[in-house]
């Protein structure tokens, strides 16, 4: 995809700003498994995904990982331009989960554009707020309330009772069993699906990663 089709609020940039973006952006590819970013010192720049898939995660001292979110075509990655964001200093890692094509814009260039352009600054705000929210939600549910463990344990128990890896249950029903709102169940099941632990269909949940669900439930 072309830069002008991908770059946020392109239509709202001035011709001069558009020219600057085109002059500064560089295409880059990342093979599946490649690390694009690790640690707070790294500053790859502002990333724009053309195709493929990136995974953004944190790593504990003992090497455990939590996926924070994934980025697909058209998504932008701000954390890779952390140096641009005053004070961002946590150890996020970014890997290519599939062969990925990107546009890379140097962080200082993006920052200058944002200072000039209210639409770009507002777009950036909304992305930042959304990521902040996603990450906090996950942190609360996973690290703070251990909802991922409880859900994994529940799914395994149900599968054992039913003698089947495909559970015919609504998210609402699961939520009633675990004392959690349906929205929380749905969101965590989608997270599990992203991690390859389950496959979701209307009215059913299929367990596709029993071993890892067990590790999660017991971990």
Contact footprint for a second copy (CB under 8 A): 58, 60-61, 66, 85-92, 114-118, 121-122, 124-126, 128-137, 139-140, 143-145
Short-list 122, 112, 132, 106, CA closest to 8: 122
Short-list 74, 2, 87, CA closest to 40: 87
Closest distance of CB 126 from a second copy, Å: 5
Closer to a second copy by CB, 87 or 163: give it.
87
φ and ψ at residue 19, rounded to 5 degrees = -60, -45
Rounded Cα distance, 181 and 173, in Å? 10
Rounded Cα distance, 152 and 139, in Å? 16
The two tokens of residue 141 are 């549910």
Closer to a second copy by CB, 52 or 191: give it.
191
Cα distances (Å, whole numbers) of residue 47 to 9, 31, 41, 122: 15, 15, 16, 17
Closest distance of CB 62 from a second copy, Å: 9
Closer to a second copy by CB, 8 or 98: give it.
8
Closest distance of CB 5 from a second copy, Å: 22
Closer to a second copy by CB, 3 or 78: give it.
78
Short-list 212, 91, 79, CA closest to 134: 79
Closest distance of CB 98 from a second copy, Å: 25
Closest distance of CB 120 from a second copy, Å: 8
Closer to a second copy by CB, 203 or 219: give it.
219
Closer to a second copy by CB, 114 or 198: give it.
114
Closest distance of CB 67 from a second copy, Å: 13
Strand partners, 105: 46
Query: Biggest alpha carbon distance in the chain?
Result: 65
């Amino acid at each position: 995809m072309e830069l002008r089709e991908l770059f946020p609020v392109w239509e709202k940039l001035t011709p001069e700003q558009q020219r600057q973006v085109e002059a500064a952006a560089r295409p880059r590819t990342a093979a599946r498994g490649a690390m694009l970013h690790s640690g707070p010192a790294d500053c790859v720049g502002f990333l724009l995904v053309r195709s493929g898939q990136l995974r953004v995660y944190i790593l504990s001292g003992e090497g455990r990982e939590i996926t924070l979110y994934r980025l697909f075509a058209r998504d932008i990655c701000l954390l890779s331009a952390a140096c641009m964001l005053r004070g961002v200093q946590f150890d996020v890692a970014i890997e290519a989960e599939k062969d990925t094509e990107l546009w890379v814009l140097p962080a200082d260039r993006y920052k200058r554009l944002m200072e000039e352009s209210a639409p770009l600054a507002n777009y950036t705000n909304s992305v930042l707020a959304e990521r902040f929210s996603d990450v906090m939600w996950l942190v609360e549910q996973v690290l703070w309330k251990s909802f991922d463990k409880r859900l994994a344990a529940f799914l395994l128990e149900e599968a054992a009772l039913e003698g089947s890896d495909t559970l015919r249950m609504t998210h609402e029903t699961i939520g009633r069993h675990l004392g959690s709102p349906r929205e929380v169940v749905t969101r965590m099941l989608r997270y599990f699906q992203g991690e390859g632990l389950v496959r979701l269909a209307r009215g059913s949940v299929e367990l596709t990663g029993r071993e890892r669900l067990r590790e999660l439930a017991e971990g």
